[in-house]
């Protein structure tokens, strides 16, 4: 059986179909799967009354990831995590995934095994079933494309459009960590520690910051809780930075917003790292991507309900501003002055 090949076996010996059987041997099946990997198309069944949500994301070597940064297990996890995050952002229940791999000839089977272990670990955590995909040779770089399907009752689906004037703007978790992680990997955050505060690459804070970039957690349960309670008027996952992503909510909803810079939630690790970096990372919490937290809007009467709903999910959500009827999105400093994002290096960091 092909699945018994050792990780040292060359892909040329295993072949396309050998690789597909090796992948499918480790897949566990969850809700709604009638026919999974192995036929011309997967057959799945939506729960009664629910609608299908679909989204696709591509991860290309040296565009979205570098093999020297992303070890394969976390790469596989992240590939699925970012797709699951899109379903979460709609208030959906992630269910089924398709995975298309473009594999360069020099890739070891062990590397693909590790990518798949990471992918399937994330799938198991989220009860997502890998139901199919495509596998081909790539002449230049590894490509990983994931299509995710989820479902939800029509009334509970939360769109980008839906924010109304005077709604609160909320975010889960903390902002800017993933972007700082990227800076650390790019060596743009060279530590200049004061003598009493040694900072070494690979220290505890580094681990947290790096894993926020390399190993993001999609906020599925908190998004679902908000959707099921009907608390969010609009929602998006933060992949491009809160400014851009709230900007999408604003645009789709035909509103604007005022974000309080002093209220942006920052991790202790972010604060201590950026304080020790020679460059200013002031704008990262606004413009840094890949945190995969949720940004949502909600009526101000629902503050307590939201706090308790998030607490039940073990997530902290923070109010960072107010939706406005004028279409502009502005950022306000703690002293009331307007924060000029462009002057603070918006272009530099994007």
Strands (DSSP E) along the chain, which ranges? 33-35, 43-44, 51-60, 93-103, 129-137, 143-152, 168-172, 234-237, 256-260, 294-298, 317-324, 329-332
Place of tokens 């970039």: 213
7, 39, 271, 334: which one binds ligand ADP (CB under 6 A): 39
Q: Does 109 bind ligand ADP (CB under 6 A)?
A: no
Chain positions 111 to 150 lying near Mg ion, rule: CB under 5 A, are 134
Cα torsion through 315, 321, 326, 329, rounded to 10: -80
Can you tell me the distance from the alpha carbon of 126 to that of 90, in angstroms, rounded to the nearest whole number? 15
Q: Using an 8 Å Cβ cutoff, are 161 and 41 in contact?
A: no
**To the nearest whole angstrom, how small is the minimum distance from the Cβ of residue 131 to Mg ion?**
14
> Encoding tokens for residue 234?
């609009």
11, 14, 33, 37: which one binds ligand ADP (CB under 6 A): 37
- Contact segment (CB under 6 A) with ligand ADP among 55-63, 88-96, 130-138, 342-350 equals 130-138
Can you tell me the distance from the alpha carbon of 309 to that of 292, in angstroms, rounded to the nearest whole number? 19
**To the nearest whole angstrom, how small is the minimum distance from the Cβ of residue 37 to Mg ion?**
11
**To the nearest whole angstrom, how small is the minimum distance from the Cβ of residue 59 to ligand ADP?**
13
Cβ-based nearer residue to Mg ion, 134 or 186: 134
Strands (DSSP E) along 104-254, which ranges? 129-137, 143-152, 168-172, 234-237
Neighbours of 43 (CB within 10 A): 11
- Contact segment (CB under 6 A) with ligand ADP among 37-45, 174-182, 215-223, 319-327 equals 37-45
Q: Does 130 bind ligand ADP (CB under 6 A)?
A: yes
The binder of 306, among Mg ion, ligand ADP, none, by C-beta within 5 to 8 A per type, is none
**To the nearest whole angstrom, how small is the minimum distance from the Cβ of residue 149 to Mg ion?**
18
Q: Does 87 bind ligand ADP (CB under 6 A)?
A: no
Can you tell me the distance from the alpha carbon of 169 to that of 158, in angstroms, rounded to the nearest whole number? 15
- Cβ neighbours of residue 322 closer than 8 Å, sequence gap 6 or more: 166, 167, 168, 169, 257, 258
**To the nearest whole angstrom, how small is the minimum distance from the Cβ of residue 71 to ligand ADP?**
20
Q: Using an 8 Å Cβ cutoff, are 350 and 287 in contact?
A: yes
Cβ-based nearer residue to ligand ADP, 109 or 329: 109
Nearest to 86 by CA among 132, 54, 52: 54
**To the nearest whole angstrom, how small is the minimum distance from the Cβ of residue 108 to Mg ion?**
22
134, 186, 200, 207: which one binds ligand ADP (CB under 6 A): 134
40, 48, 196, 301: which one binds ligand ADP (CB under 6 A): 40
- Contact segment (CB under 6 A) with ligand ADP among 86-94, 132-140, 144-152, 257-265 equals 132-140
Cβ-based nearer residue to Mg ion, 99 or 315: 99
Size of the site for ligand ADP (CB under 6 A): 13
Alpha-carbon Rg for the chain, nearest whole angstrom, is 21
Q: Does 309 bind ligand ADP (CB under 6 A)?
A: no
Cβ-based nearer residue to ligand ADP, 9 or 21: 21
State whether residue 123 is helix, strand or coil. helix
Binding site for ligand ADP (CB under 6 A): 20, 23, 37-40, 99, 101, 130, 132-135
Binding site for Mg ion (CB under 5 A): 134
């Amino acid at each position: 059986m092909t699945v018994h090949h050792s990780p040292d076996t060359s892909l040329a010996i295993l072949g396309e179909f050998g690789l597909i059987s090796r992948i499918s041997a480790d897949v566990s099946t969850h809700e709604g799967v009638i026919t999974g990997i192995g036929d011309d198309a997967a057959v799945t069944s939506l729960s009664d009354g629910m609608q299908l949500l679909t989204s696709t994301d591509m991860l290309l070597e040296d565009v979205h990831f570098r093999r020297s940064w992303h070890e394969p297990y976390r790469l596989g996890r992240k590939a699925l995590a970012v797709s699951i995050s899109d379903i979460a952002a709609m208030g959906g229940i992630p269910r089924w995934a398709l995975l298309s791999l473009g594999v360069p000839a020099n890739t070891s089977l062990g590397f693909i095994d590790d990518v798949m272990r990471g992918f399937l670990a994330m799938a198991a955590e989220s009860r997502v079933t890998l139901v199919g995909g495509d596998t081909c040779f790539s002449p230049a770089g590894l490509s990983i494309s994931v299509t995710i399907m989820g479902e939800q009752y029509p009334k509970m689906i939360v769109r980008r459009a839906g924010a109304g004037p005077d709604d609160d703007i909320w975010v889960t978790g903390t902002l800017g960590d993933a972007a700082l992680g990227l800076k650390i990997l790019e060596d743009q955050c060279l530590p200049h520690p004061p003598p009493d505060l040694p900072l070494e690459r690979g220290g505890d804070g580094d681990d947290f910051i790096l894993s926020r970039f390399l190993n993001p957690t999609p906020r599925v349960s908190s998004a679902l809780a908000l959707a099921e309670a009907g608390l969010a008027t609009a929602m998006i996952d933060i992949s491009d930075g809160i400014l851009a992503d709230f900007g999408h909510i604003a645009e789709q909803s035909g509103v604007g917003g005022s974000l309080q810079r002093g209220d942006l939630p920052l991790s202790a690790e972010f604060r201590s790292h950026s304080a020790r970096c020679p460059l200013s990372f002031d704008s990262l919490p606004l413009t840094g991507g890949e945190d995969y937290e949720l940004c949502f809007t909600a009526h101000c009467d629902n503050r307590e309900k939201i706090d308790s709903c998030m607490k039940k999910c073990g997530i902290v959500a923070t109010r960072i501003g107010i939706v406005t009827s004028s279409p502009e999105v502005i950022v306000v400093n703690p002293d009331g002055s307007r924060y000029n994002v462009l002057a603070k290096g918006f272009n530099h960091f994007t």
